[in-house]
Amino acid sequence: MERSVANEVVKHVKEKKPWTVGRVLTNEYFLYVVSFFTFLIVWHYIAAAGLLGLATPEATLKEMVRLMSVRLAGKNLFGHAWASSRRIIIGFAIGAAAGLPLGLLMGLNKYINSIVKPVFDLFKPMPPIAWISISILWFGIGEPSKIFIIVIGSFVPCVLNAYSGIRIIDPELYDVIRVLGGNRRQEIFYVSFPAALPALFAGVQISMSVAWTCVLAAELVSSRSGLGWIIIRGMKLTKPELVLGGMAAIAVVAWLFSVAASGLEKVLCPWKRGIKEL
């Protein structure tokens, strides 16, 4: 289909080619499957040969299925996954609620930036896990100390990305608002915030992955629940299938979190969706 719009021709084309052996072999989804199964097969043979102290994929999967019904320390696999997720959701929410506005303010106001930046730069390179002892000292070994680590961990990338999201905005975009008769407040609401939104989401994604690192570290140190605790439990009982099962569960849940964040980004940043009609 072809139509002429403003003297510039727009073509609608759907590519259709026959499936040949060569095309199947070079198809990206086919290669994804090949890659995944090769990984499982290599893993299986290493484990079956008794090398590296691994459990086979089948044993790991069986253990995970078993954990869905059998309770460990009062919780099944879903219970433990929720225990970890809950810590992340609370910690991340607090970290982002504090970090994103602070980063935006630092980007928008040079005085706030000058006041906050020196102190922030001091804490920035510090790994969040370094806070574990202090956190336990302040909050004990319960939930608040674990959440505190996650707050610290997700706070930093949120601040950094919100700040740079504002700073990279082309200053001429503000001129557009100015020549149309807008004021400073309108510059912020109609340019700064929407233009920085993709950067905020980048910060959110990074914060999420940092949050997972933090929650595991916290659970490895002191806990009676969570996916990190399952791994420690497997280690203490010398059950490699339990360790690997915990790891696999973390991969799945962390992936779901990142999918959720990408989905939210697609809803809030519709301009980043692919070209649909052209």
Partner 1 sequence: MNPKIECRNISKVFIQKGKQRVHVLEDISLEVMHNEFLVILGPGQSGKTTLLRIIAGLETPTSGQVLVDGKEVTGPGQDRGLVFQSYMLFFWRTVMGNVEIGLKLRGVDKKKRREIAQHYINLVGLQGFEKHYPHQLSGGMKQRVGIARAYANNPEIMLLDEPFGQLDAQTRMFMEKETERIWQTEKKTVIFVTNNIDEAIYLGDRIVTLKDKLPGRMDAIYDVPLPRPREHTDLEFVKLRQEITDRSELVL
Instruction: Return all residues near 59 (Cβ < 8 A) that are at least 6 apart.
Output: 47, 241
Name the maximum alpha-carbon separation found in the chain.
74
Between 111 and 271, whose beta carbon lies closer to partner 1? 271
Instruction: Tokens for 244, please give them.
Output: 């690997």
Q: Is residue 5 within the footprint of partner 1 (CB under 8 A)?
A: yes
Among 73, 182, 209, 239, binds partner 1 (CB under 8 A): 182
Minimum CB–partner distance for residue 97 and partner 1 (Å): 23
Among 132, 136, 191, 243, binds partner 1 (CB under 8 A): 191
Between 186 and 209, whose beta carbon lies closer to partner 1? 186
Between 6 and 119, whose beta carbon lies closer to partner 1? 6
Which range in 2-10, 44-52, 220-228, 253-261 contacts partner 1 by CB under 8 A?
2-10
Query: 76 phi and psi, to 5 degrees?
Result: -85, -175
Report how far residue 147's alpha carbon sits from residue 91's, in angstroms, rounded to the nearest whole number.
5
Site string for partner 1, 151-170 (x = CB under 8 A): -------------------x
Among 23, 178, 184, 224, binds partner 1 (CB under 8 A): 178
Among 61, 73, 89, 197, binds partner 1 (CB under 8 A): 197
Between 20 and 183, whose beta carbon lies closer to partner 1? 183
